[in-house]
Structures are given as structure tokens and as C-alpha cells.
Amino acid sequence: MVRRLLVATALGGAVAGLLDIAMAAAIYQAPLDVIMRSIARGALGSAAMQGGMSATLLGLGLQVLMGALIGVIYGAASIRLPILRRHWVGFGVLYGIAVFVVMNWVVVPLSAVHAQPKFTPMLAALNIAAMIVFALVISASARRGAKA
């Protein structure tokens, strides 16, 4: 069961990462390649925005990898705390908020972007909602992976 659950949450996280790219494109009304290059900025700095297809693919790869890792973290926690799978909606919402906080106030400032988040209330709400959807995909994957 452990292996199956971790694989399920890694795949769920990867899918959630792809969905997150689409949600970011909708929130910021930006093309998908711009969103992916923005993700690559975390590794390459500002040069990523002029990086073309290689920077776009790097951003895509980083997003899928981060999503899978975030999924595995939830999956591993749910092995030790089965309540995370039983109450997957509530804990998925909480995990989404936690992911939002960690990504914006820890990961991004430590990346090559070196920026603190600047959100309007509407952008903050939309981004938190997107992270909640992201985490609900992962928490549902944990629940399903444990049952399979």
C-alpha cells in the first residue's frame, strides 16, 4: 500500500502542477509559455523570460517535479496520519493554504527571483484558491491510492 500511495500522490501532484500552470495563465491572463518561463525564473533569474523554448521546458519540468514532490510529502504524511486520507477535503484545503504560504514566503524569496510576494486582495484570493485546487487533487490522489 505504501508504494502505491506514494506513486498515486506523486502522479496526482504532477497532474496538479500542470493544472496549476493553466490556473496561473487564467489568473494572470498570460500565455502558458510565459507562465512556464516565470517558473524557470526561480532557477535562471530574469534571463529565463528571454530564454525561449529551453526556458519554457525547464519551467514545465520544474513545475511537474515540484508538484510530484509536494504530492509525495502529503502522501508520506498520510501514511503516518491516516486522518489525512479520511478527511481529504478539509486537509486538502489546509494543505493548499500551507503550500501557498511556503511557496510565496519561503521558496520564491530563496530562489533566483529573490522577491517577496505582492498581491492585491483579489490576486491573493485567486492564488490561494488555485493552491487549494492543487492540494485537493493531491489529497484525493492519496485517498484513492490507499484504496486501490
State the pLDDT at residue 117.
Answer: 85
**Cα dihedral angle (31, 37, 41, 46), rounded to 10 degrees?**
-80
pLDDT digits (tens, 9 = 90+) for 79-119: 999 999 999 999 999 999 999 999 999 999 999 998 888 89
- Tens-place pLDDT, residues 53-74: 999 999 999 999 999 999 999 9
State how far the Cα of 59 lies from the Cα of 30, in Å rounded to an integer.
Answer: 15
**Which of 34, 39, 13, 2 is closest to 99 using CA atoms?**
13
pLDDT of residue 148: 65
**Count of domains forming the chain:** 1
Q: Which domain holds residue 93?
A: 2-147
Cα 148 from Cα 145, distance rounded (Å): 5
Mean pLDDT over residues 14-43, rounded? 98
Angle at 11 between CA 95 and CA 77, to 5 degrees: 40
**In contact, 59 and 38? CB cutoff 8 Å:** yes
